[in-house]
């Protein structure tokens, strides 16, 4: 089976972000970057399929400047076979522009399965996977939390509001991965050494003109400081009164 | 011409609250772009046409009804083809979707088919000449982006609960239409639907969300949270990632960076310390209440009202008090 996984390099979210002087980008000083969690689960899913299907190959694709090679190498050190960097100065916000650039590469690969994380926390838009599926004309299942492939057919579970759906789909297909599908493996030392010798091809990205532009980034207004109403069950009457008279939600 | 399209989500025979929000948002956008019409698309099982008047009351000039026996559940391929075809032929200035599991699946597919981009999780929008300007949270809500959409139609998916469904009666003229593709021809087939544990109200839509964390100590003790939700009557139950990772609750109940985003009127955090990953999913809630035995828990920094105490003592007392308060309403 030929599997492609599209991965993104994202900053660690557990920080206080600063806006750059241009008000259009983040100040990246001090930020730590790694592979998007959802994408790491997509890589893990691909590797598990590879282990079950002899002769499979897992290709990892990332769009962006040369620093994304680190992200690709991380996936290679987990066990992916080869990487492709679609080289671009920066990754636009516009999900259609990203999906088109990735699809240009994906359509040449004759992949049986194309995996994406369901979203990335930085842009928090979550549209690239299903957009690529449409561009490629492939069946698509988003936000899957289980996956089986057998006899050229896939079965996946996806969470909808208040329900879970089990769906069946033909290959080739595009899937986006939700939390709960698996736990991503850590690269072993052997994996890290092996990754250094795995092929990583660099190609220029063909990004169309974006239809969405960032006008401004800002930090959200801080919530105004709350208060401790009291301690233990004795504080409940006062809380209820505040919810009724002040917050007016009861 | 500045007509606006709205996709109305359904659940079985009912219109979801987010569907009414979409029509309300479309009405706002139509008015901002200059006296355009709102055309609402409603896909559902036979009988869904009975809901058309409800959409008219919320500002739809035209309601396009697509009834089919196989459309009781969301069918991505039918919804994509039908919405895309209608938007293309209707020449709309904007198209409104909802940022739900369904909308997150549908809006990008429709937009891609139309060759335009899309912004999801939109908090608010304005029209500036040929551009629709939206606000969209990034970096798990720690950064707010103002984005300019130059494409026509401007496709946006609203965050649930940021726009209240509003009455604004319009004609609601019914047009009957067919699904753009035969539902049985869809390549992806649903072979089973399992009901979730979350009850009738969806987390993203519920006006009140009660969420439980590790402080509850076991899956069984989520009964306390469920009882409190039942006392409110309009509440959904959520959980932290620690809890869903431990299997106490399904992943679909997880509120946070990698889970669901909620912004209810009232959010009650029960035994939740307030890890950054959790705060990302709920910090835009209008009123936040926290109950935790650790007075230094970070959740108290975002809570409007906090009670320091044992959840096993405070929550039953709160449940009783809410029940009483509701009785006297």
For the stretch B79-95, pLDDT in tens is: 999 999 999 999 999 99
**Chain B residues closer than 8 Å to A26 by CB:** 139, 143
Which neighbouring-strand residues pair with A153? Answer: A150, A170
Characterize B26-53 residue by residue with b for buried, 16 or more Cβ atoms within 10 angstroms of its Cβ, and e for exposed.
Answer: bbbbbbbbeebbbbbbbbbeeebeebbe
**Chain A residues closer than 8 Å to B138 by CB:** 122-124, 217
Characterize A68-97 residue by residue with b for buried, 16 or more Cβ atoms within 10 angstroms of its Cβ, and e for exposed.
Answer: bbebbbbbbbbbbbebbbbbbeebbbbbbb
Name the CA dihedral angle for B114, B115, B116, B119, rounded to a multiple of 10 degrees: 80
Give the C-alpha separation, B3 to B120, whole Å. 20
Q: What domains lie within chain B, and their CATH numbers? A: 4-185 (3.40.50.620), 208-327 (3.40.50.1220)
B9: its two tokens: 């989500």
Give the C-alpha separation, B54 to B169, whole Å. 9
pLDDT > 80? residue A67: yes
Task: Work out the average pLDDT over B185-190.
Answer: 94
Give the C-alpha separation, B187 to A183, whole Å. 29
pLDDT > 70? residue A55: yes
Give the C-alpha separation, B82 to A170, whole Å. 22
Task: Work out the average pLDDT over B112-140.
Answer: 96
Q: For residues A131 and B109, is the Cβ–Cβ distance under 8 A?
A: yes
Taking only the tens place, the pLDDT of each residue in A119-169 is 999 999 999 999 999 999 999 999 999 999 999 899 999 987 767 899 999
Task: Work out the average pLDDT over B230-240.
Answer: 95
- pLDDT the model gives residue B13: 86
- pLDDT the model gives residue B193: 85
**Chain B residues closer than 8 Å to A93 by CB:** 145, 147
Q: For residues B34 and B4, is the Cβ–Cβ distance under 8 A?
A: no
pLDDT > 90? residue B196: no
**Chain B residues closer than 8 Å to A225 by CB:** 301
**Chain B contact present for A223, CB below 8 A:** yes
Nearest to B147 among A214, A229, A243 (CB): A214
Nearest to A122 among B74, B133, B139 (CB): B139
Task: Work out the average pLDDT over A61-75.
Answer: 98
Q: What domains lie within chain A, and their CATH numbers? A: 2-204 (3.40.50.620)
Task: Please state the separation of Cα B328 from the chain's center in Å.
Answer: 30
**Chain B contact present for A222, CB below 8 A:** no
Taking only the tens place, the pLDDT of each residue in B49-59 is 999 999 999 99
**Chain A residues closer than 8 Å to B242 by CB:** none
Cβ-defined contact of A165 to B289 (cutoff 8 Å):
no
Nearest to B189 among A26, A168, A173 (CB): A168
Q: For residues B185 and B75, is the Cβ–Cβ distance under 8 A?
A: no
Characterize B280-300 residue by residue with b for buried, 16 or more Cβ atoms within 10 angstroms of its Cβ, and e for exposed.
Answer: bbbbbbebbbbbbbeeebbbb
- pLDDT the model gives residue B12: 82
Cβ-defined contact of B196 to A162 (cutoff 8 Å):
yes
3-state secondary structure of A24: coil
pLDDT > 80? residue B181: yes
B320: its two tokens: 């009783």
Taking only the tens place, the pLDDT of each residue in A229-242 is 999 999 999 999 99
Nearest to B117 among A94, A165, A225 (CB): A94
pLDDT > 60? residue B247: yes
3-state secondary structure of B315: helix
Q: For residues B71 and B178, is the Cβ–Cβ distance under 8 A?
A: no
Q: How confident is the model at residue B198 (pLDDT cuts 50, 70, 90)?
A: very low
Give the C-alpha separation, B186 to B184, whole Å. 6
Taking only the tens place, the pLDDT of each residue in A82-114 is 999 999 999 999 999 999 999 999 999 999 999
Please give the model's pTM, rounded to 2 decimal places.
0.93
- pLDDT the model gives residue B199: 55
Give the max Cα distance, chain A.
67
**Which stretches within A17-67 are classed as H helix?**
37-52
Give the C-alpha separation, B209 to B115, whole Å. 37
Taking only the tens place, the pLDDT of each residue in A171-217 is 999 999 999 899 999 999 999 999 999 999 999 999 999 999 999 99
Q: How confident is the model at residue A221 (pLDDT cuts 50, 70, 90)?
A: confident
Nearest to A211 among B101, B150, B266 (CB): B150
- pLDDT the model gives residue B205: 85
CA distance A26 to chain B (A): 9
Query: Is ipTM > 0.85 here?
Result: yes
Which neighbouring-strand residues pair with B127? Answer: B132
Which residues fall within 8 angstroms of residue B80, CB to CB, at 6 or more apart? A134, B106, B109, B110, B113
pLDDT > 60? residue B2: yes
Cβ-defined contact of A229 to B305 (cutoff 8 Å):
yes
Q: Are strands B287-292 and A163-170 parallel, antiparallel or unpaired?
A: unpaired
**Chain B contact present for A135, CB below 8 A:** yes
**Chain B residues closer than 8 Å to A142 by CB:** 104-105
Which chain B residue has its CA at the smallest distance from A96's CA?
B117
Chain A residues 141-180 with a CB less than 8 Å from chain B: 141-143, 145, 155, 158-170, 173, 178-180
pLDDT > 60? residue B197: no
Rounded percentage of chain B residues whose pLDDT exceeds 90: 85
**Chain B residues closer than 8 Å to A126 by CB:** 104, 108, 120
**Chain B contact present for A13, CB below 8 A:** yes
Task: Work out the average pLDDT over B60-77.
Answer: 94
**Chain B contact present for A26, CB below 8 A:** yes
CA distance A197 to chain B (A): 33
Give the C-alpha separation, B232 to B268, whole Å. 11
| CA R_g for chain A | 22
Nearest to A165 among B142, B193, B310 (CB): B193
B101: its two tokens: 């599991």
Task: Work out the average pLDDT over B68-81.
Answer: 94
- pLDDT the model gives residue B200: 63
- pLDDT the model gives residue A163: 78
Cβ-defined contact of A216 to B145 (cutoff 8 Å):
yes
What is the SS3 string spanning A117-171?
ECCCCCCCCCCHHHHHHHHHCCCEEEEEEEEEEECCEEEEEEEECCEEEEEEEEC
Which residues fall within 8 angstroms of residue B226, CB to CB, at 6 or more apart? B237
- pLDDT the model gives residue A161: 73
Residue with tokens 């002087």: A21
Q: How confident is the model at residue B252 (pLDDT cuts 50, 70, 90)?
A: confident
């Amino acid at each position: 089976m030929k599997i492609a996984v599209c991965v993104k390099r994202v900053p660690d979210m557990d920080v206080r972000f600063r806006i750059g002087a241009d008000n259009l980008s983040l100040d990246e000083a001090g930020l730590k970057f790694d592979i998007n969690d959802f994408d790491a689960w997509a890589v893990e899913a691909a590797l598990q399929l590879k282990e079950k299907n002899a002769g499979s190959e897992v290709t990892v694709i990332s769009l962006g400047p040369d620093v994304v090679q680190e992200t690709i190498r991380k996936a290679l050190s987990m066990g992916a076979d080869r990487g492709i960097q679609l080289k671009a100065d920066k990754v636009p916000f516009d999900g259609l522009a990203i999906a088109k650039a990735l699809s240009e590469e994906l359509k040449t690969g004759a992949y049986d399965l194309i995996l994406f994380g369901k979203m990335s926390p930085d842009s928090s838009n979550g549209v690239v996977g299903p957009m690529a599926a449409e561009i490629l004309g492939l069946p698509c299942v988003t936000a899957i939390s289980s996956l089986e492939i057998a006899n050229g057919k896939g079965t996946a579970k996806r969470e909808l509001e208040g329900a879970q759906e089990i769906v069946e789909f033909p290959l080739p297909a595009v899937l986006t991965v939700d939390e709960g599908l698996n736990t991503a493996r850590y690269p072993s030392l052997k994996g890290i050494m092996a990754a250094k010798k795995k092929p990583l091809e660099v190609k220029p990205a063909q990004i169309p003109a974006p239809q969405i532009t960032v006008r401004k980034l800002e930090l959200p207004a801080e919530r105004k400081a709350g208060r401790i109403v009291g301690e233990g069950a004795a504080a409940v009457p006062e809380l209820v009164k505040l919810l009724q008279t002040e917050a007016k939600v009861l | 011409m500045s007509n606006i399209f709205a996709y109305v989500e359904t659940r079985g025979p009912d219109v979801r609250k987010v569907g009414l929000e979409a029509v309300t948002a479309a009405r706002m956008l139509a008015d901002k772009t200059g006296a355009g019409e709102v055309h609402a698309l409603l896909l559902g099982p036979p009988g869904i046409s009975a809901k058309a008047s409800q959409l008219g009351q919320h500002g739809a000039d035209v309601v396009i009804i697509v009834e089919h026996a196989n459309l009781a559940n969301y069918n991505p391929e039918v919804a994509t083809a039908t919405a895309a075809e209608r938007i293309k032929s209707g020449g709309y200035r904007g198209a409104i979707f909802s940022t739900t599991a369904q909308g997150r699946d549908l809006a990008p597919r429709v937009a891609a088919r139309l060759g335009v981009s899309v912004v999801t999780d939109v908090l608010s929008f304005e029209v500036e000449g040929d551009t629709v300007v939206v606000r969209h949270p990034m970096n798990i809500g720690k950064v707010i982006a103002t984005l300019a959409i130059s494409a026509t139609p401007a496709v946006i998916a609203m965050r649930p609960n940021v726009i209240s469904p509003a009455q604004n009666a319009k004609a609601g003229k019914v047009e009957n239409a067919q699904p753009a593709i035969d539902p049985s021809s869809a390549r992806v087939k649903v072979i089973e639907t399992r009901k979730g544990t979350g009850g009738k109200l969806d987390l993203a839509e519920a006006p009140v969300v009660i969420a439980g964390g590790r402080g509850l100590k076991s899956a069984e003790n989520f009964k306390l949270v469920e009882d409190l939700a039942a006392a409110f009557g309009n509440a959904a139950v959520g959980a932290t990632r620690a809890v869903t990772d431990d299997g106490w609750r399904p992943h679909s109940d997880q509120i946070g960076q990698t889970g669901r985003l909620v912004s209810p009127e009232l959010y009650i955090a029960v035994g939740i310390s307030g890890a950054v990953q959790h705060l990302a999913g709920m910090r835009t809630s209008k009123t936040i209440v926290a109950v935790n035995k650790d007075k230094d828990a970070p959740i108290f920094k975002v809570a409007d009202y906090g009670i320091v105490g044992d959840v096993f003592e405070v929550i039953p007392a709160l449940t009783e008090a809410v029940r009483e308060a509701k009785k006297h309403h």
